[in-house]
Amino acid sequence: MNILTKLLSKPALKPLFGQRNRGIEIKSAAEIEIMRISGQIVATVLKEIAEIAEPGMTTADLDAYAEKRIRQMDATPSFKGYHGFPASICASVNHQVVHGIPSRKQVLKAGDILKVDTGAYYQGYHGDSCITIPLGKIPASTQKLIDVAEQALYEGIKQVKPGNTLLDIAGGIEDYVQPYGYTIVENYTGHGVGRNLHEEPAVFNFRTHDLPNVTLHPGMTLAIEPIINAGSKVTRVLPDQWTVVTVDNALSAQFEHTVLVTEKGYEILTDRTLV
């Protein structure tokens, strides 16, 4: 789940479930093992949603399914109630960028692309991940946007290792995306994740000196989540105060993984190929 950069760095941000902001945490082996499970729960739910989502369903249908499955696996939906968010998934269609609220009125159609972002809170720790799902047959240009967004995530993840920095992650993403002529949304970033859904640091997807650069150390857990637009990078928030859309109605695609910094590199805790 993305969050406004300015909100993430705001000291008054209230953590989920009343937990205080602890700064950048290095997770212990026991904590990492729990996060592997929360990550597997999220991966399972997203893999299943990708398999069942089809034209004619509503985003509310998918939200109900996600909540049911998360609870069946002895976890709690991370998003539901978070700062007042009313659902267990963010469901953002086409030009909706992030934080789309599931609705019975939002009927999926062939040709749509759907971003599904969800989190699971298991034994005190969160997992967080997002995928973009094509509905039915889509144009080759739309598939290209999805493919670039997904690979951009992995280009960023490749930079995760002790001694590298957040700027290395951002550079990996930016250098991959730019040649395609797409833009990277800058108003929303990834984040640390663990005891709280959103922890320090802000994990940016573009080169900047406006946010703190951080050196990576083993035991850090990061939600890396680039958002790639076919048109302008500029976004706006709808009157519901949650749903973010592109200002030019261009399509947007997003992928996210919860990633552990290991002694030699990284481990993707929300890897869908492992479930």
Binding residues: 99, 117, 128, 191, 198, 225, 256
In the structure encoding, which two tokens stand for residue 103, read together?
């609705």
Q: Which residues are annotated as a binding site for a divalent metal cation?
A: 117, 128, 191, 225, 256
**How many CA atoms lie less than 13 Å away from 42 in the CB half-sphere?**
35
| Burial 54-66, CB ≥16 within 10 A → b, else e | eeebbbbbbbbbb
What spatial distance separates the first Cα and last Cα of the chain, rounded to whole Å? 21
| Distance in angstroms (rounded) separating the CA atoms of residues 170 and 206 | 5
Q: Which residues are annotated as a binding site for substrate?
A: 99, 198
In the block, tokens 């499955």 appear at 69
Annotate 75-120 with DSSP letters as a single string. -EESSTTGGG--SSEEEEETTEEE-PPP-TT-B--TT-EEEEEEEE
